Amino acid sequence: MERTETKNVKVEIVLDVICAASYIAFVRLRRAIEKVRADGAKVEVAVKPFLLAPDADFDGEPLLDVLTARFGEHVVAETRQAAADAVRDGVTLAYERAVAADTFEAHRLIASAAARGLAEPMAERLFRAHFTDGLNIADLGTLERLAAEIGVDRNDAAADEVRAELAGVYERGIRSVPWISFNDGPAAVGARPEKAYFQALRASRACT
């Protein structure tokens, strides 16, 4: 049977906006998506929530202090290396400015943006706010300003629905992020090269 190409690809990405690997994967994935969209494909992206620190008891503390207290002094060298590596992707990981934050309300904002077709730019802005701008993305006033930048008039996603999404993610056995699937196929876990995402998108367009 001849192989043909479908124009529709469904991408699901599970992430947390305080996860550097999620940020890098998201940037690479979006670049790959832009290429296949330019080639005529319709790509639907579903952004699902994950709480990297579900028991977070911090709010606005310097991120490096929190990471060092939790994981030890070696984490400082690791974050510096991660920041240096991220430059190649055009990503600024300013750990010295970043503040630790609970991300539940940020995920609720992404859900609100998704209802308006703006999940992708909203997630990107939240990543950048946390890692580059040093903003506290748990602060409701900050979230309101970021939402306005993207064109989201209010954060109106139901908290219970976001909790249900989180529960569904955990029930599926997802324990680390980023987690990315294409047309409900096997997931890619961790940050992969942009080329790998592009190839997965192209393969997902093919059908028999």
Give the residue from 56, 51, 83 showing the smallest Cα distance to 69. 56
Instruction: Choose the CATH number for 12-197 among 3.40.630.40, 3.40.50.720, 3.30.420.40, 3.40.30.10.
Output: 3.40.30.10
pTM score above 0.95: no
Strands (E), the chain: 4-5, 8-15, 42-49, 179-182, 188-189, 206-207
Give the residue from 37, 30, 28 showing the smallest Cα distance to 9. 37
User: Exposed e or buried b for every residue in 84-105, given b needs 16+ CB within 10 A?
Assistant: eebeebebebebebbbbbbbbb
Dihedral pair phi/psi, residue 83, rounded to 5°: -65, -40
DSSP 173: T
From CA 95, how far away is CA 120, in angstroms rounded?
A: 23
What are the pLDDT digits (tens) for 82-130?
899 899 999 999 999 999 999 999 999 999 999 999 999 999 999 999 9
Band of the pLDDT at 1, cuts 50, 70, 90?
A: very low
Band of the pLDDT at 70, cuts 50, 70, 90?
A: confident
From CA 154, how far away is CA 136, in angstroms rounded?
A: 18
What are the pLDDT digits (tens) for 134-144?
999 999 999 99
Give the residue from 144, 149, 147, 91 showing the smallest Cα distance to 114. 147
The answer to whether 9 and 205 have CB atoms below 8 angstroms apart is: yes
- Structure-block tokens of residue 64: 């490096």
Q: Give the distance from CA 80 to its chain's centroid.
A: 21
Band of the pLDDT at 147, cuts 50, 70, 90?
A: very high
Distances in whole angstroms, Cα of residue 92 to Cα of each of 22, 84, 86, 119, 171: 13, 9, 7, 21, 33
Question: How many percent of the chain have pLDDT more than 90?
Answer: 77
- Structure-block tokens of residue 180: 């990315």
From CA 26, how far away is CA 116, in angstroms rounded?
A: 20
From CA 7, how far away is CA 5, in angstroms rounded?
A: 6
